[in-house]
Amino acid sequence: MSVEGLAGRTVLVTGGTRGIGRVLCEALAAHGARVAFTGRDPAAIADTEAALRARGPEPVALPLDLEAVDDAAPIAALLREHIGRLDALVLNAAIGGVRTPIVEQPEAEWRRLFQVNVHASRVLLAAAHPLLAASDAGRVVCVSTGVARRRKAGTGAYAVSKAAFDMMAGLYALDVAGTAIRCNIVNPGPTRTAMRAAAFPAEDPLTLKPPEALLPLLLGLCAPHCVLNGETIDADDWLAQRS
Ligand SMILES: NC(=O)c1ccc[n+]([C@@H]2O[C@H](COP(=O)([O-])OP(=O)(O)OC[C@H]3O[C@@H](n4cnc5c(N)ncnc54)[C@H](OP(=O)(O)O)[C@@H]3O)[C@@H](O)[C@H]2O)c1
């Protein structure tokens, strides 16, 4: 997959302050892309901004709590005002929540995961769509998980919300078929981040691939030459085929 052509593109990454999103933001900046990113933690936002500024074009930080995002119109206005144009959107931010049997998941937790993982992602997609449609090669990358499609006990609202997220992404890919927009889903597989460590505290993080391993795939899906649309790509399979 070609990562050529990212220089001069504008890319918005949700959850760009940590983990997979942060590493992707830095790589996009290093390839010459103008990076906009969302996050909540002010210190992490400032740190990300400084790191991106050192690597590439002036970044755009969008402090946004996805738990509070419920309307596309103000987000669309925010994007128009602060970014102006958009060539790629990476819906990466998500929360994992607690691992419990399905009927034991606290109601508020269930709804919080759906809010961040599904509702806010759809709001971002709807808000970004006009800008993506105005691009000559709008790209959407939806970062999902294997448990969205493979039943695994205890994964609760995380798995169910990500299954809804995948369907949303797949339907959007159908909606934009025949246009210049491409939308694809990535399952990163086990990756060395804070989310993974919280879900599997007994696991040795050094046994996991670092987020940097995902870059050839994620950058390629953001790039204007990407021809795939509506695909679900398992990153570990994809990486194994390349090795
Ligand atoms: N790591 C893995 O092994 C793995 C495996 C399968 C799938 N994934 C998927 O990969 C994606 C990235 O995961 P990760 O492991 O990199 O996670 P992470 O290290 O926990 O980072 C999550 C990012 O999302 C942001 N975020 C979380 N809640 C938010 C909220 N309410 N509002 C705004 N931003 C919020 C965080 O920023 P703030 O805290 O500053 O808000 C942070 O930048 C997720 O979609 C996850 O489901 C990861």
57-85 confidence digits (pLDDT tens): 999 999 999 999 999 999 999 999 999 99
For the chain, how long is the longest CA-to-CA vector?
48
Angle at which helix 156-176 crosses helix 107-114, to 10 degrees, equals 20
Sign, CA dihedral 18-22-23-26, equals negative
Q: Atom 2, ligand 1: which residue's CA is nearest?
A: 191
Please give the backbone phi and psi of residue 91, each rounded to the nearest 5 degrees, phi first. -85, 90
Q: How high is the pLDDT of residue 169?
A: 98
Give the confidence band of 243 by pLDDT, cuts at 50, 70, 90: confident
Q: Atom 6, ligand 1: which residue's CA is nearest?
A: 145
Query: Which pTM was predicted?
Result: 0.98
Residue 50 burial (C-beta neighbours within 10 Å; 0-12, 13-18, 19+): exposed
Rounded CA-CA distance 168/171 in Å is 5
Contact 125, 172 (CB under 8 A): yes
> Residue 214 above 80 pLDDT?
yes
CB of 209 closer than 6 A to ligand 1?
A: no
Give the confidence band of 90 by pLDDT, cuts at 50, 70, 90: very high
Helices and strands, number each (H, E), in the chain: 9, 7
CB of 65 closer than 6 A to ligand 1?
A: yes
Residue 159 burial (C-beta neighbours within 10 Å; 0-12, 13-18, 19+): buried
Q: Where are the beta strands (DSSP E) in 111-215?
A: 139-143, 182-187
Query: pLDDT tens digit string along 100-137?
Result: 999 999 999 999 999 999 999 999 999 999 999 999 99
Best residue among 40, 206, 207 to mutate for probing ligand 1's pocket (most ligand atoms within 8 Å of CB) is 40
- What SS3 class is residue 91? strand
Query: pLDDT tens digit string along 24-55?
Result: 999 999 999 999 999 999 999 999 999 999 99
Q: What mean pLDDT is predicted for residues 206-225?
A: 98
Q: How far is the CA of 57 from the centre of ligand 1 (A)?
A: 24
Assigned CATH topology for domain 10-242: Rossmann fold (3.40.50)
Rounded CA-CA distance 94/67 in Å is 10
- What SS3 class is residue 132? helix
Closest CA to 67 of 6, 29, 121, 115: 115
Q: What share of the chain is helix, strand, coil (3-state, %, to 5)?
A: 50, 15, 35
Active centre residues (catalytic): 158
Angle at which helix 19-30 crosses helix 215-222, to 10 degrees, equals 60
Query: pLDDT tens digit string along 166-207?
Result: 999 999 999 999 999 999 999 999 999 999 999 999 999 999
Domain ranges (residues) in the chain: 10-242
Contact 239, 230 (CB under 8 A): no
Q: Atom 34, ligand 1: which residue's CA is nearest?
A: 39
Rounded CA-CA distance 110/95 in Å is 11
